[in-house]
Amino acid sequence: MIKQALLIGGATAALLAMTANAQEAAKPSAVSATEASLAAIKAKNDQLHAVIALNPHALVDARALDAERKAGKVRGPLHGVPILLKDNIESADDTATTAGSLALKDNVTGRDAPLVKRLTDAGMVILGKANLSEWANIRSSKSISGWSAVGGTVRNPYVLDRSACGSSSGSGAAVAAGLVPAAIGTETDGSVTCPAAINGLVGLKPTVGLVSRTHIVPISHSQDTAGPMTRTVTDAALILTAIAGSDPADPATREADARKTDYAKGLSKDALKGVTLAVARFYTGYSPGTDAVFEQALKDLKAQGATLVDVKDFDEGPIGKAEGVVLYTELKVDLNAYLASTDPKKVRTRTLEDVIAFNKATPKELEWFGQETFDKAQATKGYDDPAYIKAAADAKRLAGPEGIDRILKETGAVAIVAPTTGPAWTIDPLNGDHYGGSSTTLPAVAGYPHLTVPMGDVGGLPVGLSFIGPAWSEARLLGLGFAYEQATMRRKEPKFLPTVVLEK
């Protein structure tokens, strides 16, 4: 059920072609693009559960942007383009920021996250909030990706009984289904790149510190970042250009202004010519179908002039163990700090301990799975704990200098390529996710960028090709992804099938 139901009647046709890389003369008005998105949401969201709330001021904002355009002021290529925010990102538009939890259902903060201010300064229309895996999928290891107590379960628009992956599931499903041209997701480990790949989209997890995390419901200051989810690499590059930058309130972003660039300006179809790529064979085996599509992607990369070097073995086990200690410890401290910043009249849960108690007292919250991860986080001892200090150092070293950096140095490659994950699994509320693995952990723990681009499908379910690079290599990865995208054009539109159709 959508709150703030600002919906209009009329056409339920496909979303108008107001993508960020459209020709200027062909762009419709901000009002017509916003109306088209609202109509598409009205027509499809009851089926998808991708959108939790709509900005009641969206059309007012769109009219103001059209008035600016009429007066000769165009803010840039994103002027008048609607965009959704994952519902853990604050916006000063009278919508609550819930993280999918009933504990935050009244969390109307009146604050714009700095990345939201950057989007509106670029001329984008904040359309509303996208559904997500509750608490960004950190509450339980038995969770259902895409489920939240506030928004229900997000459906994959390609096959409706399949997962949209988490935690940015609503962002992915909404863009894939044509409800909106673009969305912002957030990732701690896989939460932009997995739903992007599974929903046939481009998704970019930036270097931690390129985009501000202020006023975003946190998990981990070591790994959290927001990133764009779009239909094309160009659109992702344009949005990253808008949201990247330093924020005095987020110390991790101190280098961002010096590191950012115009990410769309350097995109070239020839970016793969003469480059060496490391093929992460240790990230194969998610499914035979995915492996077959990946082998074709490797042929496509070679055809565009890339040299491929196989990397067969890498042990992620120690990284995953250290990552768990880091995430549980930082969740408790960082979430407590966020909750303390909210209005106590609107948010009665002031600590993680309060949230755990709230969930126990609220049957809907624990209807399908528990909160054992929250319990583990509550039991941690803080940043002075020697176990945390060691795990934080080990995780960064093993994933970064001794992981991605070492692989690139030994192979002479500029980036690592791998299948992002396998095809979407069936939604199973009784047993939780049937997740087959992904290539997300190394870049997530290292804090390095990770781009996924559509590389084909398995039985009608999209799968993505990952490009992983060293810190601050977003421009390079976007260039490689653009060249691959333009040479292959693997993305297909969803068909909203009820289930996978087996051959007779």
With b for 16 or more beta-carbon neighbours within 10 A and e for fewer, the 265-298 pattern comes to eebeeebbeebebbbbebbbebbebbbebbeebb
Residue 460: what pLDDT? 96
Q: Is 335 helix (H, G, I), strand (E, B) or coil?
A: helix
Residue 27: what pLDDT? 57
Residue 503: what pLDDT? 62
Enumerate residues 6+ apart whose C-beta is below 8 A from 87.
52, 53, 97, 98, 99, 100, 129, 130, 131, 132, 148, 150, 151, 170
504 is catalytic: no
- Tell which phi-psi region holds residue 432, choosing left (phi > 0), alpha (psi between -120 and 50) or beta: left
222 is catalytic: no
Neighbours of 387 (CB within 10 A): 12
* The total number of residues written for the chain in this structure: 504
Q: How far apart are the first and last CA of the chain?
A: 38
Residue 501: what pLDDT? 80
Enumerate residues 6+ apart whose C-beta is below 8 A from 442.
314, 316, 319, 399, 403, 404, 416, 448, 468
pTM value is 0.95
167 is catalytic: yes
Alpha-carbon distances of 36 from 123, 124, 354, 359, rounded to whole Å = 17, 15, 41, 38
* d(C-alpha 94, C-alpha 108), whole Å: 6
Query: Domain locations in the chain?
Result: 27-314+401-488
Residue 286: what pLDDT? 85
Residue 164: what pLDDT? 98
* d(C-alpha 405, C-alpha 370), whole Å: 38
* d(C-alpha 184, C-alpha 115), whole Å: 10
- Among the listed residues 91, 143, 167, 220, the single catalytic one is 167
Question: Which among 467, 465, 457 has a CA at the least distance from the CA of 495?
Answer: 457
- Among the listed residues 191, 220, 222, 438, the single catalytic one is 191
* d(C-alpha 180, C-alpha 19), whole Å: 9
Residue type, 120: T
Q: Is 422 helix (H, G, I), strand (E, B) or coil?
A: coil
**CATH top class, domain 27-314+401-488:** alpha beta
Neighbours of 376 (CB within 10 A): 17
Residue 435: what pLDDT? 87
Residue 475: what pLDDT? 98
The DSSP symbol for 281 reads G
Handedness of CA 1, 331, 335, 359 (dihedral sign): positive
- Among the listed residues 44, 86, 332, 396, the single catalytic one is 86
Residue 9: what pLDDT? 24
CB 133 within 8 A of CB 94: no
Please give the average pLDDT of every successive group of 10 residues along the chain, which has 504 residues. 30 34 58 98 98 98 97 96 98 98 98 98 98 98 96 98 98 98 98 98 98 98 98 98 98 98 97 98 94 98 98 97 98 98 98 98 97 98 98 98 98 98 96 93 98 98 98 98 98 97 66
The DSSP symbol for 408 reads H
